[in-house]
Structure 1
Amino acid sequence: MPTRSLSLRLGALVAALALSVTGAVAVQGVPADDHVAKQAKDPRTSRGLFVDSLMPAANQEAVYRERIGGYAQALWIIPEAYGTPWVRDIVRAYTERALDANKTPMLVVYGIPGRDCGSHSSGGALQTAEQYRAWIKEVAAGVRNQTAIVVVEPDALPLFSSEWNPCPTEAQGWQAMLRFANKQLGRTDAWVYLDAGHSNWTPYDDRAAYLKQAGIQYVRGFSTNVSNFRTSGDEKKYAETLLRGLRKLNVKGKHYVIDTSRNGAKGGPQDDQVLNPPWARVGQPPRLLLQGAFDGRLWVKHPGESDGQVNGGPPSGQWCDMLADRLLGRSDQGAC
């Protein structure tokens, strides 16, 4: 399975967040029946997702501000931008801005050693389990009591567990690292989703077992289709397969979210391209729906930001008008 490149946008967002640092409920890991009453009072069930004016698309031309930047997108917490000494304050500054607006903050934790198998988004990952654990502790401290949504390590579990296409940078002890991250983050009040790849990332008969070994029992559930292009219908079928597998392992009451940022192409992917494919389109807007196990749609990947220097794109994470135009189905394509 080809690797997926993920957004590493730094630039103005890093600087603005750094300047905003001022010095500074759902029960995780238990069956849904145990916290139905608490969930009914959880602010995430009634308030919207945070639309951050510092996101790259929100600072582009009007068409991009309105059609992309006007929707909630996750802040990527990555060690090359937000290191251990100050990641706690960065996380807290971001989440407090969201809470001040009475909205739900969304974050992605993306720093596990060996991430992206040495591909376009691999640079800057931490090198050892000890470094990773220290970093995760600080992230968890920052997100504590912030009623946030957190996606944990996109692609790591399916990449590292693949026997069909082994990852050359697979980190020794990767399952223990994911389990540690889920335990730490699961002790906060965040809704945490361990990433589970997507419906075309096969084979996945044993993926439920890997999810359990990686600590999904400590968090709310899992995410699918992060930075990919599979239809929501296919992802829901995939998620139900994982939920059935988890129940057989006595892991019950889990939920899931789908990244719909780029899965709007009619009929789904037209070929096997996963890096800035020309046929990709923006998908349905992000929204929490809370329909049974399906918690809703998120924009985890930032539409308009490059997957890497493929199909006319600039380096990974950089904004590109042309890529945004493609996603919006605009014939007048700008430049990168």
Structure 2
Amino acid sequence: MLPRSLVRACATSAALALLSAGPVGAADGARPPQDPRRTQGLFVDATMPAYQQGGAYQQRIGTVSQSFWVIPEAYGVDAVRSTVQEYTGNASAARRTPVLTVYGIPGRDCGRYSSGNPLRTAPEYRAWIRQVARGLRGTKALVVLEPDALPLFSSDLAACPTRPSGWPAMLRFASRTLSRTGAWVYLDAGHSDWTPYEARPRFLEAAGVQFARGISTNVSNFRPTADEKAYALTLLRGLKALGIRGKKYVVDTSRNGGTPSAGGHDAINPTWARVGARPRLVFEGAFDGRLWIKHPGESDGYENGGPAAGQWCDFLADRLLGFPESGTC
């Protein structure tokens, strides 16, 4: 399920000037400036795979905001800071909000499709996260933190042979460190069909959700938005019972526009999947809005005709758009 959009556009250098007209206090009735994430749109990155394909893929998928996945096999500890700065700098130049997904915890994906991670230890992970944070500082970004890690590592039903010891502390460190940059961090909480999840609020607490803005759901999955909203609110009620209040959530709608099959558990390039509602921040109660986190048209793995995880495939995009399948990748 790992997007590998590795070609980055050259950022235009922009100098930020801080203009000061003297101290402003409550006495003059001035209001603090509104957070730009509440007023500006989401960044559309022209280096995303669908945009590069041109034609209908570009028009229907590529011109839609999608998350930039920050992965250690592409952007190691020596490169990740500058890479994040470049991406967020492009977003700033466009006056749009950058959206990133941080996906590098040791043992991720339990040895399956997205297991090619060079980070093996907690110290390596913390060093990498520190560099991500240095690239994020002051950018007012949205950050989805470690898709699938918490529900996979906390599950009692499915063995995870690569689950690292101390994984809650790693997530806690990442949640706190990235949130301190001013980013809105959403700690990933799986999806509504990933059961049971009665204990998930306590795992979210252990993983540092109290430092984050909230949680993300449905990343790289296909569950209907209504189901995800109900699921997220269930988790937020569980957090409230633990004394953690005011948390928000976002839902990945990139591929949830179809009706799941009767079994409903097919999560690797399902033939019934379709693109979902376009991303938009709405700020309705606890619901911050919709994001496209998974890149439509990129494979989940070697099932239902797909190539390796993260590779673009024309006929997978055709399926999602309801087109006749091209028969090629």
- TM-score, scaled to structure 1: 0.90
Do residues 130 (structure 1) and 126 (structure 2) align? no
User: How many Å apart are 1:20 and its aligned residue?
Assistant: 4.2
The letter of the residue matching 2:2 is L
What CA RMSD, in Å, does the superposition of the two structures yield over aligned residues?
1.7
Pick aligned residue for 1:121 from 97, 114, 132? 114
Give the gaps of 5 or more residues in structure 1: 25-36
| Alpha-carbon distance in structure 1 between the residues aligned to 2:276 and 2:147 | 19
Q: Secondary structure at the match of 2:203?
A: helix
Structure 1 segment 7-156 matched on structure 2, within 5 A: 7-10=3-6, 13=7, 16-17=8-9, 20=11, 41-156=34-149
Q: Which runs of 5+ in 2 are unaligned?
A: 16-30
Residues 221, 255 of structure 1: 8 Å contact kept: yes
For residues 132-153 of structure 1, give each alpha carbon's deviation from its aligned partner in whole angstroms, at most 9, with x where no partner exists: 0000000011001001000000
Report how far residue 168 of structure 1 moved. Answer: 1.0
Q: For 2:11 and 2:117, how far apart are their aligned partners in 1?
A: 23
- Tell me, yes or no, if structure 1 residue 258 matches structure 2 residue 230: no
Match of 1:298 among 291, 295, 303: 291
1 CA distance for matches of 2:3 and 2:190? Answer: 16
Distance 1:8 1:214 in 2: 26
**Structure 2 counterpart SS, 1:141:** helix
1:232 aligns with 2:218: no
CA distance in structure 1 between the partners assigned to 2:104 and 2:244 by the alignment = 26
Tell me if 1:6 matches 2:2.
yes
C-alpha separation between the residues in 2 aligned to 1:229 and 1:168? 25
Distance 2:208 2:262 in 1: 34
Q: Which amino acid aligns with 1:224?
A: T
Q: 1:109 to 1:269 in 2, by over 3 A?
A: farther
* Equivalent pair of 2:319/2:325 in contact (CA under 8 Å): no
Query: What's the counterpart of residue 28 of structure 1?
Result: none
* Correspondence 1:194-233 to 2 at 5 A: 194-233=187-226
Determine the C-alpha separation between the residues in 1 that align with 2:307 and 2:38: 38
Greater relative contact order, per chain length (Cα 8 Å cut-off, separation 6+): 1
The 5-angstrom pairing of residues 279-290 of structure 1 reads 279-290=272-283
Residue 314 of structure 2 is aligned to residue 318 of structure 1:
no
User: If the length of structure 2 is used for normalisation, what is the TM-score?
Assistant: 0.92
Contact 1:270 1:279 in 2 (8 A): no
Identity %: 59
Q: 3-state DSSP class of the match of 1:223?
A: strand
Is 1:161 the equivalent of 2:154?
yes
Secondary structure of 2:201's partner? helix
CA offset digits 1:303-323 (Å, max 9, x no partner): 000011111111111100000
Which amino acid counterpart does residue 260 of structure 1 have in structure 2? T
| Cα displacement (A) at 1:332 | 4.1
8 A contact 1:58–1:70 mirrored in 2: yes
SS of residue in 2 equivalent to 1:312: coil
